[in-house]
A and B are shown apart, each in its own frame.
Chain A
Amino acid sequence: MATLKPPTNTHRSSSSSHSSGPPKAPLKADATATIADTVVFQGTYPVTIGAGTVVHPRARFYAYEGPIYIGDSCIICEKAVIGAAPSPSSRSPSPSRTADPNITSSESGTGTDLKKEAATRISYFVTVGPLSTIEPGAHVHSSASIEALAIIRRGADIGSHSKVCSGVEIAASGPVGEWVVVWGSGPGQRRKRARGAKAMSPAVVGAAQISQAPLPAPAPEGRVIEDARLMVLQKEREVLGRMLVPAAGGKKK
């Protein structure tokens, strides 16, 4: 995604009144959010960023088709694209239009319902990996993670505690349930994660039956893994916040 960046003063003013260049999206960020310098906010609809969220440099928010809500304690990695850049037909060509063909093609396909407002929602504790794309109207529920280069098409719904592995593309308005891992390539394969305590593998049960040994003690619930992951995520965010602050030169007012 080689992009032509506008000068880095883009996100600085939430209520920007620059007449030249693409419109600045009105930004409403929590005081505890960490937003890097070079993040791009464009569009006409507001962008809301929750408390404790970390936005890496060169992430891009395009609020042309609807507002963008980012919940608390999320991590938006570098060069992630949330929303869609304006299509050349509907807008005057902006210098910062993304070169991603996926976006522009789907944009032109759905050019008719641009009037409709499509809110993009990302709930709390979500990780959005580098270079991933979340198109307008998608809804990512809490504690989900979108890995690098994944593409979430319009109107897709990613359930909580789910994971979209890198490079996977979730089809438009495609649902992904809770506690599901979508892995592989293209549309990907799906797998349910262990949430509660799972029954012991039949191989183990059978073996124990034969050898008439007592069954091994039951394993804890699968949830503990997720708890651990979220805890690590929390730590990562804290460290990131510290690292990004000097570069960002101050958080949002």
Chain B
Amino acid sequence: MSRPFPYTYISCPCADTPVPDPARKRRSRESPQKSPQKPPPERANLSAEDRKEPTDSEQHEEDEEEEQTFDPRSPRSNFSLYPPEQLLYCEECHQIKCPRCITEEIVSWFCPSCLFETPSSMVRSDGNRCGRNCFNCPVCTAPLAVSTIENATGNGAQQGPWVLSCGYCLWTTLDIGIKFDKPTNIRSQLQKMTDSTAQPTLDRSRQASRTFGDLKSPLSTFASIDEQSAAREQDGEQSASQEPEAPPMGTDARFAALKSFYRAQIAETSASPNDPLSTDFGFSSPGALNRLMSLYASSSRLSGLYGGSKKPKSKPPVMREAITASEGLQLAPENGDEDLIKRITSPSCGWDGMASTAQRAAQSPDARFTDDLLPLPVLLRTKRAKRCKSCKHILVKPETKPQSTRFRIRLIALSYIPLPTLRPLALSTSSTLPTIAPTPDLNSLPPLRPVHVLLTLKNHMFDPVRITLATPPVTPGNVATKVTVLSPQFEIGANSDVWDEALQGASAPLKGDATMSGMRGVPEAGKVWDKGRNWTTVVLEVVPGTLPGSSAEGGDGNGEGDEGILAVAGQNADEDVLEIPVFVRMDWDADAQLEQGNIGKGSKPDDKVTRELAYWMVLGVGRIQPSL
């Protein structure tokens, strides 16, 4: 609710029916028939004195009928209120769709820097980063430029070593001692340089672990780590011959080695013939739980029964941990911490040499110093299509090409529902020029003093629309503000061609009231304020209520708004905000389409079908002054 006053929000009906089901379609269509026929038209015309009395009974009625007044203050309504521009409309369900009741699917991936589309298969294999030349500075995240060194120094043509350089913080790949031989395909060049899971390596390590695994395959029946390591010492000469020459692995390689190692372990231990229960269950299957339970039960019970003297025959094998470097084990270096500390305290590093957490976030976990940072390929972005959650109808579908900003399908709600706009009417209603008269300050509305607000509804459909507005006579919440719609039922013209109006004169679209010019001036009950080709303005009379507790501090609050507002806001945040829930029911005669479902309430002979749509909207009028 951070918009400036006045604002309008529209409530998506999905808040009431969180589970998308066909029943909801019916319900939302039925609901408008019920509610507006009840109180609103008459109620709005009630005079002030007898307005109080029927309110309670009506609200009771409403509560019983589960068709409750929308309360903009209820915590739930935060999640259903959206500015009109953010809403979509499903033509199948005939319903407003908010970001919560749609699903998104990715149409294409592209690099925001080079606008090159990346196939999703490549995204899956290479990660969602640009595979070409786009990099961000690892220090300051500005985009990096590929530039040559030789050319800049003046000797030579366009060849020579190339570097990535940041125009902002002057970081270059020379800072980490890297240069490139070609200006193209930097990503693969860099990967070749830094990839520790390079093909020969990977093969070698995998082979090593496989041979090691084969070697150990009889050992897989060992019951405990101790036995296993003991056995390992026995055939230590084989493994020891491998270990010392094994180079330290990079992070990726270690991860791959560990992954393959544990996969092998799972396969060996779960498919062990000694385990009666888990012959065909892996660790990833629910049978693993059974196996674990039996493991506990058998060991404890058997050892209890037989005094532990006899070793249970079927002791299941235990997974062991990685114990060699080729399996992915990395021992912390002897005095690594001391070296680190020494390096940190050295004058060449210091605070500025340490990589910040923001810088380390996307880097390898070993990177601690700014010298360890590698340039980051640019993250890809997506274009997304949006579907209705309940009927899977596509609501938004952008063009696949990253260069294009057009949409193939875009069903935004504003082309189906009238756009509400709100503005205050000038204070002196007697003035003939209302625009000149001072408008009330919406950030401090005096309580108990009527304010007139103009609500304009602008129709974007090509059919004229009949609108019925309904408000609760008193706004829900602690601050009882009286609201009256002076003309709750009116029509909005079709969004016809602008030229039609000009060519046909003012007769056709403006067949409303003939006395339109005379309507300016005094807001009158039962009459629309103003009307245009496809818009209509009505007047809302608002009498802001008094804030709770403001009577107590009414003495000192002599127009000094700020402190009073703060004090009130301290009690209950934003209680002074005047928001009016308005129920809008619109119906129009649409062209009959092929699939009409169960709408046809009053289907007309000439293939016209009466459509209805009803929803709540919230008008944010302003803040109420704490005192008079």
- Chain B residues with CB below 8 A from A191, complex form: 139, 169, 171, 352, 370
Which residues of A from 193 to 221 have beta carbons under 8 Å from B?
A: 193-194, 197-204, 206-213, 216-221
Which residues of A from 151 to 201 have beta carbons under 8 Å from B?
A: 163, 165, 180-181, 183-184, 189-194, 197-201
Count class of interface residues, chain A: 35 or more
Q: Is A227 interfacial (CB-CB < 8 Å)? A: yes
- Nearest residue, chain A, Cβ from B372: A202
- The one of A212, A216, A220 in contact with B174, judged by C-beta atoms closer than 8 angstroms, is A220
- Chain B residues with CB below 8 A from A231, complex form: 152-154
- Chain B residues with CB below 8 A from A193, complex form: 170-171, 175
- Chain A residues with CB below 8 A from B366, complex form: 202
Q: Is B176 interfacial (CB-CB < 8 Å)? A: yes
- The one of B154, B175, B193 in contact with A207, judged by C-beta atoms closer than 8 angstroms, is B193
Query: What 3 A-B pairs come out closest when comparing CB atoms?
Result: A228-B152, A200-B177, A201-B176
- Nearest residue, chain B, Cβ from A213: B198
Q: Is A222 interfacial (CB-CB < 8 Å)? A: yes
Q: Considering the chains assembled together, what is the distance between the CA atoms of A191 and B173 in angstroms?
A: 14
Main secondary structure of the interface of B (DSSP, over half): loop
Tell me the minimal C-beta distance from B171 to chain A in angstroms: 7
Q: Is A31 interfacial (CB-CB < 8 Å)? A: no
A201 contacts B196, C-beta separation under 8 Å: no
Q: Is B158 interfacial (CB-CB < 8 Å)? A: no
Q: Considering the chains assembled together, what is the distance between the CA atoms of A231 and B153 in angstroms?
A: 8
Q: Considering the chains assembled together, what is the distance between the CA atoms of A228 and B250 in angstroms?
A: 35
Q: Is A243 interfacial (CB-CB < 8 Å)? A: no
Q: Is B248 interfacial (CB-CB < 8 Å)? A: yes
- Chain B residues with CB below 8 A from A204, complex form: 176-178, 193-194
Which residues of B from 25 to 56 have beta carbons under 8 Å from A?
A: none
A194 contacts B168, C-beta separation under 8 Å: no
Q: Is B140 interfacial (CB-CB < 8 Å)? A: yes
- Chain A residues with CB below 8 A from B193, complex form: 203-204, 207-208, 216
Q: Is A225 interfacial (CB-CB < 8 Å)? A: yes
Tell me the minimal C-beta distance from A244 to chain B in angstroms: 25
B175 contacts A183, C-beta separation under 8 Å: no
Most chain A beta-carbon contacts within 10 A, residue among B149, B174, B195: B174
Q: Considering the chains assembled together, what is the distance between the CA atoms of A247 and B405 in angstroms?
A: 43
* A interface residues (Cβ-Cβ under 8 A, vs B): 163, 165, 180-181, 183-184, 189-194, 197-204, 206-213, 216-222, 224-225, 227-229, 231-232
Q: Considering the chains assembled together, what is the distance between the CA atoms of A25 and B247 in angstroms?
A: 69
A227 contacts B172, C-beta separation under 8 Å: no
Tell me the minimal C-beta distance from A62 to chain B in angstroms: 30
Most chain B beta-carbon contacts within 10 A, residue among A183, A197, A232: A183
- Chain A residues with CB below 8 A from B161, complex form: 219-220
Task: A204-B176, A228-B152 are known; give 11 further A-B pairs, CB within 8 A.
Answer: A180-B352, A183-B139, A194-B175, A198-B371, A202-B372, A203-B250, A204-B177, A210-B250, A210-B253, A220-B174, A224-B149
Tell me the minimal C-beta distance from B347 to chain A in angstroms: 11
Q: Considering the chains assembled together, what is the distance between the CA atoms of A203 and B368 in angstroms?
A: 12
- Chain A residues with CB below 8 A from B174, complex form: 194, 198, 219-222, 224-225
Known: A210-B196, A224-B153. A194 touches B172 (CB 8 A): yes
Q: Is B300 interfacial (CB-CB < 8 Å)? A: no
Tell me the minimal C-beta distance from A143 to chain B in angstroms: 12
- The one of A165, A197, A206, A211 in contact with B200, judged by C-beta atoms closer than 8 angstroms, is A211
Can you list 20 A-B pairs with a CB-CB distance of less than 8 A? A163-B170, A183-B139, A183-B140, A183-B169, A191-B370, A198-B177, A201-B176, A202-B372, A203-B196, A203-B364, A203-B372, A203-B374, A209-B247, A210-B249, A210-B250, A211-B198, A219-B161, A224-B149, A225-B149, A231-B153
- Chain B residues with CB below 8 A from A217, complex form: 179
* B interface residues (Cβ-Cβ under 8 A, vs A): 139-140, 149, 152-154, 161, 163, 165, 168-179, 193-196, 198, 200-201, 247-250, 253, 352-353, 356, 364, 366, 370-372, 374
Tell me the minimal C-beta distance from A129 to chain B in angstroms: 13
Tell me the minimal C-beta distance from A108 to chain B in angstroms: 29
- Chain A residues with CB below 8 A from B370, complex form: 191
- The one of B149, B175, B196, B247 in contact with A228, judged by C-beta atoms closer than 8 angstroms, is B149
Q: Considering the chains assembled together, what is the distance between the CA atoms of A232 and B145 in angstroms?
A: 16
B198 contacts A207, C-beta separation under 8 Å: yes
- Chain B residues with CB below 8 A from A227, complex form: 152-153
A201 contacts B374, C-beta separation under 8 Å: yes
Most chain B beta-carbon contacts within 10 A, residue among A207, A212, A216, A222: A207
Q: Considering the chains assembled together, what is the distance between the CA atoms of A182 and B163 in angstroms?
A: 22
Tell me the minimal C-beta distance from A193 to chain B in angstroms: 6
- Chain A residues with CB below 8 A from B249, complex form: 210
- Chain B residues with CB below 8 A from A180, complex form: 352
- Chain B residues with CB below 8 A from A228, complex form: 149, 152-153
- Chain B residues with CB below 8 A from A225, complex form: 149, 152, 163, 165, 170, 172, 174
- Chain B residues with CB below 8 A from A221, complex form: 174
- Chain B residues with CB below 8 A from A189, complex form: 352, 356
Known: A207-B196, A210-B198, A211-B200. A165 touches B250 (CB 8 A): no
Q: Considering the chains assembled together, what is the distance between the CA atoms of A54 and B29 in angstroms?
A: 74
- Chain A residues with CB below 8 A from B352, complex form: 180, 189-192
Q: Considering the chains assembled together, what is the distance between the CA atoms of A181 and B137 in angstroms?
A: 14
- Chain B residues with CB below 8 A from A183, complex form: 139-140, 168-169
Q: Considering the chains assembled together, what is the distance between the CA atoms of A200 and B371 in angstroms?
A: 9
Most chain A beta-carbon contacts within 10 A, residue among B154, B176, B195, B201: B176
Tell me the minimal C-beta distance from A161 to chain B in angstroms: 9
Q: Considering the chains assembled together, what is the distance between the CA atoms of A128 and B374 in angstroms?
A: 31
- Nearest residue, chain B, Cβ from A179: B170
- Nearest residue, chain B, Cβ from A217: B179
- Chain B residues with CB below 8 A from A203, complex form: 193-194, 196, 250, 364, 372, 374
- Chain A residues with CB below 8 A from B175, complex form: 193-194, 198, 222
Q: Considering the chains assembled together, what is the distance between the CA atoms of A180 and B169 in angstroms?
A: 9
- Nearest residue, chain B, Cβ from A199: B177
